[in-house]
Amino acid sequence: MPVQIIVGAQWGDEGKGKIVDHLSEEIDIVARYQGGANAGHTVVVPVKGPNGVTNKEYVLHLIPSGIFHRHVTCVIGNGVVLDPAALMTEIEQLRQLGVKIEGRLLISHNAHLIMPYHKLLDNIREQSDQKIGTTGRGIGPAYIDKYMRTGIRVVDLLDRDVLCKKLKRNIEEKNQFLSRVYNSKELDVDAIINEYQEFDKKIDEYVTDTSAFLNAALQKKKKILAEGAQGALLDVDHGTYPFVTSSSPTSGGACTGLGIPPTSITSIVGVAKAYSTRVGNGPFPTEQENDIGERLRTTGGEYGATTGRPRRCGWLDLVSLRYSIRVNGIQKIAMTKLDVLDAFDEIKVCVAYRINGKRVTDFPTDVQALQRIEPEYRVLKGWKAKSSGVRSYGKLPVRARNYIETVARLLKTRIWMVSVGARRDQTLMVR
Ligand code: GDP
Ligand code: IMO
Ligand code: MG
């Protein structure tokens, strides 16, 4: 199993962090391939203290979710847009928790850097009528510069002259734009240069050619897990454009974002919640803007791990999930947060859409069509029993298993793993 890809199969926050941490026990390398500090991957780990073992929750934004397993090397790939300030904060927090980072974290020399002006531009745009509800982490503007070929990469930090030249040119250009379009105050070139030159010293020990590292690891038959951020429906090509992120969370992004060949991929796992959530604007066919949505939000703790925003909640949408399985090539599903449905009398799953009275089972990606959708639901009886204490699949209530097996059948895809709580031991393998 050289490379296993873990993708979010919905609109992000499916519980990828938990699943990656769980799988990392048997993995050598965990590598993030896209996105940036817009991600918030929650991992709950047992920590030994004077009063015994307690479970602690950590939210990772840039560092791969394998970091809590000492034997795992973590890689930030070339496809990631790296905010050095956010990275330094994250490294410091992990160090304080006693997590060893030295020798275990590698950063691609080709990853692009998020600059203060990217965050500024992101936030200014979010105040306009083109707002899409971004995380405000500068992601879109950083990828714009990457594809404009004016971006500054990690490798540029290591050469002061190059860094100064590129930064000056970029800041002058952004200043012109900011004053012309937004009448905004100018960015201070020297302050930014000084701040970023400091990162050079701090980041140097981690920087390497991660593509070469990963390909050498493949030769040695090391087990690699490629960790996606966000989800397929937020993919810039395959998601609900323009309400998407600016990178490729789908499985194809793993090869370009890490510099590994498609032939090295042996397994693709999609992580999906037992219901649906979305943060930010954009179509969400099964959204429940009512008591049900509120109940899912409260029971599931559905508040953004990065921005704290309440997540929009709704029933599981098998039409979009089938589409996600297709564009990612998902072979098996890790279904999370089953426990959140424990107390519902009945649970709905969307099996088809109706657009202008016509029944549709293929996911339309144009926003106009998606906004006119009426979901067609199949109603299943709830199991009305606590699942969070269950430790083997066979011990789940019959109706809970029926829910999982119905979903698998309708998706024509295997459900491989079921999560019934945020902790490591709340993970059931489906046999
Ligand atoms: P990610 O971005 O895909 O890694 O997901 P997030 O960390 O943003 O959001 C998932 C949330 O659900 C986190 O608070 C997790 O701790 C929590 N979580 C993960 N799996 C389960 C589960 O099976 N049950 C419950 N109740 N919570 C879970
Ligand atoms: P993880 O990895 C959920 C959403 C934002 C917004 C859109 C674009 O934790 O699943 P961006 O800041 O990327 O330009 O925002 O994408 N978004 C996420 N939603 N989980 C995430 O990450 C997200 N990252 C971005 O809310 O709608
Ligand atoms: Mg998240």
Q: What digits encode the pLDDT tens for the residues 89-115?
A: 999 999 999 999 999 999 999 999 999
Residue type, 35: G
DSSP three-state, residue 171: helix
**Own/partner pairs, 145-150, CB within 8 angstroms, 24+ separation:** 145/112, 145/118, 145/170, 146/81, 146/112
Residues 95 and 130 in one domain: no
CA of 407 to the centre of ligand 1 (A): 20
Containing 59, the helix (H) or strand (E) segment is strand 52-60
Residues 309 and 388 in one domain: yes
| Tokens 């099996």, located at residue | 351
CATH of the domain at 311: 3.90.170.10
Nearest CA to ligand 2 atom 11: 134
Residue after which a domain boundary falls, among 206, 239, 266? 206
Low-confidence ranges of the chain (pLDDT < 70): 1
Nearest CA to ligand 2 atom 27: 280
The model's pTM = 0.97
**Pocket test residue of 42, 298, 388 for ligand 1, highest count of atoms within 8 A of CB:** 42
Residues 256 and 356 in one domain: yes
- What are the structure tokens assigned to 422, written together? 């945020």
Is the Cβ atom of 280 under 6 angstroms away from ligand 2?
yes
Instruction: Supply the pLDDT for residue 197.
Output: 85
Nearest CA to ligand 2 atom 16: 245
CA of 299 to the centre of ligand 1 (A): 12
**Which one of the ligands is nearest to 335 CA?**
1
Residues 192 and 263 in one domain: no
Residue after which a domain boundary falls, among 149, 176, 206? 206
Residue after which a domain boundary falls, among 186, 206, 226? 206
Nearest CA to ligand 1 atom 9: 13
- Are 243 and 19 within 8 A, CB to CB? no
Residues 196 and 318 in one domain: no
What's the number of domains the chain is made of? Answer: 2
Residues 316 and 383 in one domain: yes
Instruction: Supply the pLDDT for residue 1.
Output: 58
| Tokens 């204490």, located at residue | 389
Instruction: Supply the pLDDT for residue 183.
Output: 72
Is the Cβ atom of 84 under 6 angstroms away from ligand 1?
no
Q: Exactly one of 21, 22, 28, 41 is catalytic; which is it?
A: 41
Residues 355 and 347: their CA atoms lie apart, in Å, by: 23
Instruction: Supply the pLDDT for residue 49.
Output: 85
Measured from the Cα of 44, ligand 1's closest atom is 16
Residues 289 and 368 in one domain: yes
Instruction: Supply the pLDDT for residue 147.
Output: 98
Domain that holds residue 178: 112-206
CATH of the domain at 201: 1.10.300.10
Instruction: Supply the pLDDT for residue 185.
Output: 74
CA of 19 to the centre of ligand 1 (A): 9
Instruction: Supply the pLDDT for residue 68.
Output: 98
Measured from the Cα of 8, ligand 1's closest atom is 3
Write the pLDDT tens digit of every residue in 338-383.
Answer: 999 999 999 999 999 999 999 999 999 889 999 899 999 999 999 9
Residues 383 and 276 in one domain: yes
**Which one of the ligands is nearest to 44 CA?**
1
CA of 382 to the centre of ligand 3 (A): 27
Residues 17 and 44 in one domain: yes
Residues 85 and 177 in one domain: no
Instruction: Supply the pLDDT for residue 180.
Output: 79
Residue 13 catalytic?
Answer: yes
Residues 134 and 103 in one domain: no
All residues with CB under 5 Å from ion ligand 3: 13, 40, 305
CA of 342 to the centre of ligand 1 (A): 16
Taking CA atoms, 31 is separated from 68, 392, 410, in Å, by: 14, 29, 32
Residues 259 and 371 in one domain: yes
